[in-house]
Structure 1
Amino acid sequence: MTTHDHLGVPAGASHGTPAEQGFAMPAEFAPHDACWMLWPQRPDTWRYGAKPAQLAFAEVACAIAESETVFVGVNDEQYENARNQLPDHIRVIELSSNDAWMRDMGPTFLTHPDGRLAMVDWVFNAWGGLEGGLYFPWDKDKRIRTKIAEMLGIPRFVAPAVIEGGAFHVDGEGTLITTEECLLNANRNPELDRATMEALLWDYLRVEKVIWLPRGCHLDETDGHVDNLCCFVAPGQVALTWCDDETDPQYTITREALKVLEAARDARGRPLAVHKLPQPAPLYIAEDEASGLDRLSSSHPRQPGDRMAGSYVNFYIGNSVVVMPFLDAAHDEQAREILQGLFPDKRVIGVPAREILLGGGNIHCITQQQPRP
């Protein structure tokens, strides 16, 4: 049972809403003080005891650390291993979790015009709870936001909704983009309709305009997180994963999204410039990749031949670098060149990321930016 004070606010949480107090969520492309990650170790998510995934996470952490401080949270039993695998300038801290998706388990950071930092503590139910969730339990994940708030000494606003960080992107100027498939899913917030959800997003992120895309990438096990499909790269500009193969279910999804984006206006009344990123060729779990996993009844099965929701849009925007997944040799360099054109003042670093994708997400999913107030 959650401990509450006499006003019904969870212990250690701030009263009121962030918007009431003048806090808002800045864009990912705004300056950061740090990036937060978690260390993979779950054997039913990551094959062969997560050793291949740990190498990939370490490479992502090192690339981002060229740009900003990186914190990696680690369960106690993996602390020494992580500390020895990661270079000294990456900050390794004991921060227990059930799995390693900091974007979704971690806080959403907010800033205030007077230079203060705060966070939103969303309800987390492992992407669907007992109705389609990916594992059980998620008790350690639920404590991550509280622990980070304690470490940083910042206000923590507890939101009354199940929302993951990968389910939305903001432009920092009042606009948020998301998918109906995720935010209005019956396994998240069945009692909330679109208008109520928009009001809640204003209260906790201070966004004035929500652009609703119908659905996320094909077979995305997060129920359509927008960060695998579309993201802001600048005010009035988005990157959209794109498919030209009419036989691929992703073909229709991308065109549905494009139709909405081309008709939309952001909170400032601007039309959106849409930059298309090619999707990798369809990627499937190989026999040897599936055989290295523990088989548990409490977790999402990963079988040989299952298609993975690979996307180049799942990248991280740092202060001086953009870290993107390399997934398909036929398209990696083309995607990197497009991103380099969108971020001419940053160095675009491609990291081999199939091991991360095998776990169900990618580089944006395993990172969470801490903005500079």
Structure 2
Amino acid sequence: MEQQFTYTMPPEWEEHERTLISWPVKESLVYPEDWKSVCAGYAELILAIAEFEPITVLVNAKEQDTAVAYVGNNDNVTLLEISHNDAWLRDNGPTFVRDDKGNLAGVNWRFNAWGEKYFPWDLDDAVAPAVLEHLDVKKLDAPLVLEGGSIHVDGEGTLITTEECLLNSNRNPDLSKEEIEAYLRQYLGIEKVIWLKRGVSGDETDGHVDNVASFLAPGKLLLQVTNDPDDENYEITQENLRILDETKDARGRQIEVVAVQQPPKISWNDTRLTLSYINFYFVNGGIILPVFGNTAAGTDERAIRLLQAQFPERRIRTIDGLAIIKEGGNVHCTTQQMPAIKGGRQ
């Protein structure tokens, strides 16, 4: 790891040039009978993002006509044919970084389908290089298996992740915690890693942090919690609160924790769905927030009010968080931001 870069990963709330997303692949669906409803869910998300900024949709050739039918008549939506096995671009797409002169590059992590859970993944592993080639953005090949949903950064040197994911033996069994941290410093320009132990209960990604915690600003973290001692996430909540109470960020600040109550539990085929308000997505001038229709419990409305209070200048745009969750993820999992370059791209 002798080679050093001068790139840093901008926080998600900085201005975007565009959003990238992949159109779903019918053969990859856990419930292929839900194909039409999944397409409708992706279309709702894509068109919501297009209200705020341009969005490029990666499409397999055989899904081109379907994608056109759902989203193809919007001036802010561009379809780009790039082959892929599955549609979670946050995890297999490039992570964009900038150097101190504002030049953009993209980290090409290795991808192995969340610890070899789904076959095949060869097309997904080739997506990031194809995207960067199309965008004419410099590619940085990282010798590390990593999904974008497993990390969040604050833009001032701090990264948060979970041991459950990044230290899992199904990702990088030959690397130590210290070696993984070194790669994160090298490719993302961070100075400190905050290690939570676990993500939300039942998360098939092995505890991606984007379901449990997200930076709202440097020194400020949104954490999904539950106060119910009988809930599977209660112990995880308490553990995360203890860790964050004892941790300072890269600038020596005590982390300010903003708690959001988790949605009520919903199960499908005896499996708990990983419902999370943390899986929101910053867009230019707004936030795309999944909500889950729990009028009686009121957690949707509380999450909306909480984010609006944190970001009074942004529009909170809600979408149906149940539309694609049976497939294993939500808004943040599907999206990847391309940071804007000040003065525009040359």
With normalisation by structure 2, the TM-score equals: 0.94
- The aligned runs of 1:42-53 (5 Å cut-off) are 42-43=26-27, 44-48=29-33, 50-53=35-38
Q: Distance in 2 between matches of 1:80 and 1:199?
A: 44
Give the aligned CA root-mean-square deviation in angstroms: 1.4
- Aligned counterpart for 2:24 among listed residues 33, 40, 52: 40
Q: Distance in 2 between matches of 1:273 and 1:166?
A: 22
Q: Distance in 1 between matches of 2:31 and 2:286?
A: 27
The reply on whether 1:189 has 2:172 as its aligned counterpart is yes
CA shift, 1:16, in A, is 7.6
The reply on whether 1:88 has 2:74 as its aligned counterpart is yes
- The aligned runs of 1:249-260 (5 Å cut-off) are 249-260=232-243
CA contact (8 A) 2:8 2:189 kept: yes
Q: Unmatched 5+ residue regions in structure 1?
A: 1-14, 286-303
Deviations 1:134-159 (A, max 9, x none): x1010110111111111111111111
Q: Unmatched 5+ residue regions in structure 2?
A: 342-346
CA shift, 1:113, in A, is 2.2
Q: Distance in 2 between matches of 1:83 and 1:361?
A: 23
Which range is displaced more, 346-355 or 216-225?
346-355
Q: Which residue of 2 aligns with 1:68?
A: 53
Q: Distance in 2 between matches of 1:42 and 1:172?
A: 37
CA shift, 1:62, in A, is 1.3
SS of equivalent residue, structure 1 residue 345? coil
SS of equivalent residue, structure 2 residue 333? coil
The reply on whether 1:364 has 2:332 as its aligned counterpart is yes
Q: Distance in 2 between matches of 1:105 and 1:200?
A: 17
CA shift, 1:88, in A, is 2.2
- The alignment covers a number of residue pairs equal to 335
Q: 1:176 to 1:255 in 2, by over 3 A?
A: same
What amino acid does structure 1 have at the position aligned with 2:112? N
Q: Distance in 2 between matches of 1:52 and 1:372?
A: 33
CA shift, 1:49, in A, is 5.2
- The aligned runs of 1:315-330 (5 Å cut-off) are 315-329=280-294, 330=297
What amino acid does structure 1 have at the position aligned with 2:26? R
What amino acid does structure 2 have at the position aligned with 1:305? D
CA contact (8 A) 1:118 1:154 kept: yes
CA contact (8 A) 2:5 2:187 kept: no
Q: Distance in 2 between matches of 1:263 and 1:305?
A: 36
Q: Distance in 2 between matches of 1:16 and 1:350?
A: 45
Deviations 1:272-294 (A, max 9, x none): 11111111111111xxxxxxxxx
* Runs of 4+ residues over 4 Å off in structure 1: none
Deviations 1:298-323 (A, max 9, x none): xxxxxx12111111110001111100
Q: Percent identity?
A: 44
Q: Which residue of 1 aligns with 2:313?
A: 345
- The aligned runs of 1:198-237 (5 Å cut-off) are 198-237=181-220
- The aligned runs of 1:137-286 (5 Å cut-off) are 137-285=120-268
SS of equivalent residue, structure 2 residue 215? strand
SS of equivalent residue, structure 1 residue 93? strand
What amino acid does structure 2 have at the position aligned with 1:33? E
Q: Which residue of 2 aligns with 1:98?
A: 85
CA shift, 1:355, in A, is 2.2
What amino acid does structure 1 have at the position aligned with 2:338? Q
What amino acid does structure 1 have at the position aligned with 2:232? P
Q: Which residue of 2 aligns with 1:127?
A: 114
CA contact (8 A) 2:22 2:58 kept: yes
What amino acid does structure 1 have at the position aligned with 2:33? Y
CA shift, 1:41, in A, is 2.5
Q: Distance in 2 between matches of 1:137 and 1:47?
A: 17
Q: Distance in 1 between matches of 2:326 and 2:43?
A: 16
